[in-house]
Amino acid sequence: MKLIGNKWFLVVVISFFALIISYYLFFENSQMTKSIGMGGMIVEEKHHYIEPGQYFEMWIIGYNAHEKKENRERYKIFIKESMVYNLIEEGEEYMVSFKSFREDEEFGYVYKLEQISNQEEYQLRGKGRIK
């Protein structure tokens, strides 16, 4: 009789730990990220904000150039590197990939830039020479 009671106790303890682990794996870390890649994104606007002596933020707002005008979704994409931000021009088309990192009231998801290239101007081909 005591053996059956110990088995039930062991089953309850294992189930409890499995429930706790499931909660942390699935619910606690449930902020889903959304990754997007576009073959043609038009940059509508460039913005930056500087908090003197603290930090600065740089972001662009754009849309997929290959979608119909009535279906266009605008994306707010933050940029970490100022060198990259300085090369981006409003009104130009870029190939981009970006990943969501939080939600925003105006844009829904807010993204961080993973990769960007201007297919017409910045794509060199062949091997460069090093002297």
The domain ranges of the chain are: 1-30, 35-117
Which H/E stretch holds residue 129?
A: none
pLDDT, tens digit, 9 for 90 and up, residues 48-67: 998 888 888 999 999 998 89
Rounded Cα distance between 14 and 71, Å, is 50
Beta-sheet strands, E only, within the chain: 35-51, 55-64, 74-79, 93-104, 108-117
More confident residue, 2 or 115: 115
Rounded Cα distance between 7 and 14, Å, is 11
Q: What is the pLDDT of residue 129?
A: 61
Q: What is the pLDDT of residue 90?
A: 94
pTM to 2 decimal places: 0.66
User: Strand, coil or helix: what is 9?
Assistant: helix
pLDDT, tens digit, 9 for 90 and up, residues 17-52: 777 776 666 655 545 678 888 888 999 999 999 888
More confident residue, 124 or 101: 101
Strands 74-79 and 93-104: unpaired
Q: What dotted CATH number matches 35-117?
A: 2.40.50
The confidence band for 102, taking pLDDT boundaries of 50, 70 and 90, is: confident
Phi-psi label, residue 36: left if phi above 0, alpha if psi -120 to 50, beta otherwise: beta
